[in-house]
Amino acid sequence: MIVLFAACKEAPQDEWSLELPSNFPKPHFDVANRPITKEGFELGRKIFYDPQLSRDNSTSCGSCHIPTSAFTQHGHVVSHGIDNKLGRRNSLPVQNMLWEPLFFWDGGVQNLELVAINAITSPVEMDESPANVLEKIKNDPAYPPLFKAAYGTEEVTSGRFLFALAQFMGGLISANSKYDQVQRGENNAQFTAEEARGYELFKQNCTTCHQEPLFTDFSFRDNGLTKNYDRDKGRFEISLDSADLGVFRVPSLRNLTYTKPYMHDGKKASLEAVLDHYTGGLEMSRNLDPLLIQPNGQLGFSLSAQQKLDIIAFLKTLDDEEFVRNPLFSEQ
Ligand code: HEC
Ligand code: HEC
């Protein structure tokens, strides 16, 4: 059982610390020097759900990152933002951010404390300037006491604002799925026969990219969705290296039940459609990942209908009901 803010055993009663899952590796985020506190998390939560971050005070981070959808915008192929404008990409889940080295589908941001700037300034998301946001926050009487609780004084600075958001997002840890309980030997959790077969098939075909326990190796690859890169050039837009054309972040596979639709373009509506893609839907694109080309030249994997169902059954063991229903994570 993951307790977000468990009282630290060695520390005095009133001190809190973030409990990291025992089956996860060391986080990428420097939690030792940038510690996540209860008060910082609570300030970040208030900011995350505050529509004042957008130009017309209509759109909060939580408008596109909804808790019950594992912090994605469920039901939208690409995101909907301010003035009902359509974004270009499917919203990513905000979960297990502490382990991520690079953010966004194209890896364009390297620091969790900077991701908010992209969303605030994007003309199709919040379309606001960071300076205006800070003014609005400073003038809102709800905030000074929260800044004081988190940082000792009421002073509102961009660094404090961004670090609070990072603390909230960093606290959004999903690690209590059935899969995690099986791994940690908790609650006598066991895979069904179907899930166990699916896990074996997953390890044979999928873990090279979707590496356990975060279900991504954090690399950027082209999984053959399209050979036409004109609509979205992916990581190339950041690196300007032609080997990165049409190349996107390998996403985590946690909480897929809540994060439909799938892929950067949101074009796969179901897990069945995803499995059909990997078993016969791949396009021979310029940068198609070699792991998806068999020695005989066949694209993708050979899986029977039953094997696809088995893999889907396994993927559902990565759903974390407690994460999407955690009252600490929702707007208060
Ligand atoms: C209009 C909808 C929208 C709003 C508002 C929005 N986001 Fe996002 N968010 C997205 C989309 C779409 C992506 C994926 C974009 C991409 O990869 O190019 C994303 C990606 C992210 C990611 C990257 C996750 C990862 O795994 O790399 C984080 C973190 C994030 N958003 C945080 C925020 C924060 C914080 C705010 C508020 C300041 C915010 N978002 C506001 C739609 C939105
Ligand atoms: C060569 C690396 C690679 C392999 C192998 C691979 N994937 Fe993927 N997977 C990716 C990449 C890259 C994406 C994102 C592609 C995009 O949106 O452009 C992705 C996306 C997905 C998604 C969508 C997730 C989301 O949140 O949108 C699912 C589901 C998925 N893969 C399942 C699987 C399964 C199941 C297997 C094994 C049968 C598998 N993958 C094998 C690289 C891989």
Domain count, the chain: 2
Nearest residue (by CA) to ligand 1, atom 12, is 91
CA-to-CA distance for 134 and 144, rounded, in angstroms?
A: 12
Tell me the CATH number at 19. Answer: 1.10.760.10
**Whether residue 23 is found in the same domain as residue 134:** yes
Nearest CA to ligand 1 atom 36: 61
CB 118, CB 108: distance < 8 Å: yes
Structural domain range at position 107? 5-174+322-329
**Residue 231 and residue 163 share a domain:** no
Q: Count CA atoms closer than 13 A to 19's CA, side-chain side.
A: 15
pLDDT of residue 13: 44
State whether residue 111 is helix, strand or coil.
Answer: coil
User: Which ligand neighbours the alpha carbon of 127 most closely?
Assistant: 1
What pLDDT digit, counting tens, does each position of 42-68 carry? Answer: 999 999 999 999 999 999 999 999 999
Confidence grade of residue 99 (pLDDT, cut at 50, 70, 90): very high
Answer whether 100 contacts ligand 1 (Cβ < 6 A).
Answer: yes
By most ligand atoms within 8 Å of CB, the mutation choice from 223, 260, 275, 302 for ligand 2 is 223
Give, for ligand 1, the residue of 60, 104, 121, 218 to mutate: max count of ligand atoms closer than 8 Å to Cβ. Answer: 104
User: 2 pLDDT exceeds 80?
Assistant: no
Tell the residue nearest (CA) to atom 38 of ligand 2: 206
Query: Could you give the percent of the chain with pLDDT greater than 90?
Result: 89
- 10 with 60, same domain: the answer is yes
Our mutation pick for probing the ligand 2 site, out of 77, 229, 250, counting the most ligand atoms within 8 A of Cβ, is 250
Q: Which atom of ligand 1 is nearest to the CA of 105?
A: 17
Same domain, 71 and 170: yes
Cα of first residue to Cα of last residue in the chain, in angstroms, is 23
User: 296 CA to middle of ligand 1, Å?
Assistant: 40
Specify the higher pLDDT residue, 81 or 305. Answer: 305
CA of 332 to the centre of ligand 2 (A): 35
Number of C-beta neighbours around residue 108 at 10 A = 14
The per-residue pLDDT for range 147-205, each reduced to its tens digit, is 999 999 999 999 999 999 999 999 999 999 999 999 999 999 999 999 999 999 999 99
Q: Are residues 191 and 309 in the same domain?
A: yes
pLDDT one-digit tens code per residue, 283-313: 999 999 999 999 999 999 999 999 999 999 9
pTM: 0.95
* Residues 311 and 182 placed together within one structural domain of the fold: yes
Tokens of 284: 């021979």
Ligand 2, CB cutoff 6 Å, lining residues: 205-206, 208-210, 221, 223, 225, 248, 250-251, 253, 256, 259, 262-264, 274, 278, 289, 291-292, 301, 311
Q: What is the dihedral of CA 150, 154, 158, 162, to 10 degrees?
A: 20
* Protein residue closest via CA to atom 37 of ligand 2: 206
**Same domain, residue pair 149 and 11:** yes
Residue nearest to atom 38 of ligand 1 (CA): 116
Confirm if 36 and 45 have CB atoms less than 8 A apart: no
Regarding whether 202 and 162 lie in a shared domain, the answer is no
Whether residues 32 and 134 fall in one domain: yes
Q: Which of 56, 79, 110, 248 should be mutated for ligand 1, with most atoms under 8 A from CB?
A: 79
Mean pLDDT along residues 222-229: 96
**What is the C-alpha separation between 185 and 223, in angstroms, rounded?**
34
Residues 190, 155 share a domain: no
User: Which atom, in ligand 1's list, is nearest to the CA of 85?
Assistant: 1
In this structure, the answer to whether residues 230 and 266 fall within a common structural domain is yes
- Ligand 2 atom with least separation from CA of 289: 1
Distance CA 54, CA 58 (A): 6
**Nearest to 275, CA basis, from 305, 316, 250, 253:** 305
Burial of 331 (0-12, 13-18, 19+ CB in 10 A): exposed
Instruction: Report whether 301 contacts 205 (CB < 8 A).
Output: yes
- Which ligand 2 atom lies nearest to the CA of residue 92? 26
Note whether 104 and 228 are same-domain residues: no
Instruction: Tell which atom from ligand 1 comes closest to the C-alpha of 169.
Output: 29
Q: How far is the CA of 92 from the centre of ligand 1 (A)?
A: 6
